[in-house]
Structure formats: structure tokens, C-alpha cells
Amino acid sequence: MSKIGKLPIKLPAGVETEIGEKIITVSGSKGKLVRAIPREIAVEKKENTLFLTLKKNFPSASAMYGTTRALIANMVTGVSTGWKKELEMVGAGYKAEVSGGNLILNVGFSHPVKIEAPAGITFQVEKTFITVEGRDKEIVGQIASKVRAVNPPEPYKGKGIKYRDEVVRRKAGKAAKVAGVPG
């Protein structure tokens, strides 16, 4: 039995839920999200709290119990406060700008790289920092990963696009290896 699945989900003020037989809809100030519920799991709303219970205790049901609870909790957080991922560009001449809702990156290639924002995602650029914001945690993470994949950080000089809190493990170059060998 999942410890996470048993935890109740508190609904903040301004968040509304509609629970159908196979789907749950959560709406708030940032928008509306819809997700399918596995058939082995039941969702109940009591006052301002959601509770998940297992209809049948199959191994596949208990595996999805905690996951479903976490996904619904992420939906509630997304429609009330939203999700954000911050990235940092490290490198001489690296620039980013937002044009028409799309992100345009100049990161050392012969051409600028354009990343289109799906519905519900916004980009913000401040000097060398890029912020990806939206209400769906999965899409925010996917787009942030797509931005990072344009030019991931390399281990020798640390140049590239990295998450703001990411630590890039640096390697010693050839000169450091040769200098460390006794002659």
C-alpha cells in the first residue's frame, strides 16, 4: 500500500474540481487541467480536500495509487500557483530573447535556434537566465529539457545551458593530466 497515495490533497481557495467516472478536471486562476483516472482508483471530494482510495487491490492498482495522487496534487499546484523552471546560459556571447511568445537562442551556432512555446507556456529572459513557466508540470519540464538540449553544459569549461541549480562536474584537461605525472 502506498504511503503517498493515502495522503489527502488540500484544495486552496479558488481551485475547483470536477470528478467524473474516468477523468478529473481541476481549474483555478492559472487555467484548467484534465487528467484520466485509472479505473482501479476512486477520487472523493470532502469539503476542500480530495481523497484517493483503491477500488481493487491489484499490484498494478497499488503501483498507480501514489502516482495518481502525486499527479493530481501537481495539477492543483499548477492551476493555483503554477510551475517554473529556471535555466542559465554560461558562455561568451550567449544570448536569448523572447519574440512573439517563442524563445530565440544564440548559443554559438551559425544560426539562431527557435523554440516554440506550446499553449500555456511562457518564456522570460533576464540577462543570462531563462525562465519557463506554465500550469502543467510535465510540459514545463519537457520544454525546459528541450531548451537545455540545444547546448548542454560541457565538462571542461562549463559552457552551455544548464538548470540554475545544476552542478556541472568539471574535468581536468590534458595539461592538468600531464602536469600531475611525475617524470
Rounded distance, CA 96 to CA 99, Å? 10
What is the tens place of the pLDDT at every residue in 149-180?
999 999 999 899 999 999 999 998 887 666 55
Strands across the sheet containing 129-134: 121-126, 129-134, 83-90, 160-163
Predicted local confidence at residue 118, as pLDDT: 94
Predicted local confidence at residue 178, as pLDDT: 60
What is the tens place of the pLDDT at every residue in 18-32?
999 899 999 999 999
DSSP assigned state of 116:
P
Confidence of residue 3 (pLDDT cuts 50, 70, 90): confident
What is the tens place of the pLDDT at every residue in 89-114?
999 999 999 999 999 999 989 999 99
Predicted local confidence at residue 175, as pLDDT: 74
Predicted local confidence at residue 153, as pLDDT: 95
Predicted local confidence at residue 105, as pLDDT: 96
Rounded distance, CA 80 to CA 11, Å? 9
**Contact, 135 vs 33, CB < 8 A?**
yes
**Residue 102 belongs to what H/E stretch?**
strand 102-106
The set of residues, in sequence order, having a beta carbon less than 8 Å from that of 183 and lying 6+ positions away, is: none
Please give the model's pTM, rounded to 2 decimal places: 0.87
Domains of the chain in sequence order:
3-80 (3.90.930.12), 83-163 (3.90.930.12)
Predicted local confidence at residue 177, as pLDDT: 60
Q: Quote the percentage of the chain above a pLDDT of 70.
A: 95
Rounded distance, CA 40 to CA 46, Å? 20
Number of H helices, E strands in the chain: 4, 13
Strands across the sheet containing 23-28: 16-19, 23-28, 31-36
Predicted local confidence at residue 173, as pLDDT: 81
Predicted local confidence at residue 180, as pLDDT: 57
CA distance readout (Å), 2 to 19, 76, 171: 22, 20, 41
